[in-house]
């Protein structure tokens, strides 16, 4: 389980997260949506330990993350844009991660074949297309089969075929009982992949629950319409 209690974070005068309380059950897939600048990325970075909250507590499986950094080993994170050493080859990057993890058993070869990037292993990262870089990020995220997966705009830059393959893989991970967080502006992806939705505006959680409940409350059968209506209500 992922739990946050009264999570707050400010950057100077900008209060980005405001008393965020969340309970995300294990084995669920949750879409995180909201306007640009709403606090989605900051929330994720707090969960990852990349940003330290000003106040509040984050628990992963009942353990406060401020007291135990080992929890990160069981999280796979795929950023919207992977930042890697540009002069490094793809093969070298994968080996670097294997060395950092102590050469634990992993499924990098399986994922390289699945995403069809064997021909790119000796290419330098600076020469990769955006879509191929995303595939490399997906491999790094999934290769150690973490129980918690966090995807930030994961299909950005992927061609339609690769996007379908990626979403199929996410469904497989979901069926295996992984806990998944997905941020994307493509609401059809959340409809396809997620069970629940978190709607965050100006650092506050405005809705957290099943997608069907949100759509029923907004009297629409489309998640896109429900989210748009919520945004209009908040702007009013």
> 76-102: per-residue pLDDT in tens?
999 988 889 999 999 999 999 999 888
- Cβ-proximal residues to 194 (8 Å cutoff; 6+ apart), any chain: 29, 30, 31, 180, 182, 211
Q: Where does 37-113 show beta strands of DSSP type E?
A: 55-60, 63-64, 75-78
pLDDT for the residue 66: 81
Q: Which domain holds residue 180?
A: 2-235
pTM of full prediction above 0.85: yes
pLDDT for the residue 182: 95
Task: Return the bridge partners of 77, or none.
Answer: 150
Q: Tell me the CA distances in angstroms from 25 to 136, 181, 203, one per residue in order.
A: 28, 11, 21
Q: 236: pLDDT confidence band, cut at 50, 70 and 90?
A: low
Nearest to 198 by CA among 46, 39, 5, 62: 39
Count how many domains the chain has. 1
Task: Return the bridge partners of 17, or none.
Answer: 9
Mean pLDDT throughout 204-226? 88
* Residue 181, domain CATH: 3.40.50.300
pLDDT for the residue 234: 73
Helix (H) or strand (E) holding 152: strand 148-152
What confidence tens digit (pLDDT) does each residue in 144-181 have?
A: 999 999 999 999 889 999 999 999 999 999 999 999 99
pLDDT for the residue 90: 97
């Amino acid at each position: 389980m992922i739990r946050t209690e009264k999570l707050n974070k400010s950057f100077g005068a900008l209060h980005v997260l405001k008393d965020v309380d969340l309970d995300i059950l294990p084995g669920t897939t949750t879409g995180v949506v909201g306007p640009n600048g709403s606090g989605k990325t900051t929330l994720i970075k707090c969960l990852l330990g990349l940003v330290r909250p000003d106040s509040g507590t984050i628990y992963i499986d009942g353990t406060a993350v401020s007291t135990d950094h080992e929890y990160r080993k069981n999280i796979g994170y795929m950023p919207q844009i992977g930042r890697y050493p540009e002069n490094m080859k793809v093969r070298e990057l994968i080996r670097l991660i294997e060395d950092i993890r102590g050469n634990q058993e992993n499924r990098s070869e399986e994922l390289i074949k699945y995403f069809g990037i064997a021909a790119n292993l000796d290419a330098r990262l600076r020469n990769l297309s955006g879509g191929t870089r995303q595939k490399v990020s997906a491999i790094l995220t999934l290769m150690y089969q973490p129980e918690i997966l966090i995807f930030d705009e994961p299909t950005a830059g992927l061609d339609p075929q690769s996007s379908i393959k990626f979403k199929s893989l996410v469904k497989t991970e979901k069926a295996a009982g992984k806990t998944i967080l997905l941020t994307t502006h493509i609401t059809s992806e959340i409809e396809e992949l997620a069970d629940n939705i978190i709607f965050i505006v100006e650092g506050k959680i405005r809705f957290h629950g099943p997608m069907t409940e949100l759509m029923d409350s907004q009297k629409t059968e489309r998640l896109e319409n429900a989210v748009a209506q919520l945004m209009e209500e908040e702007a009013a």
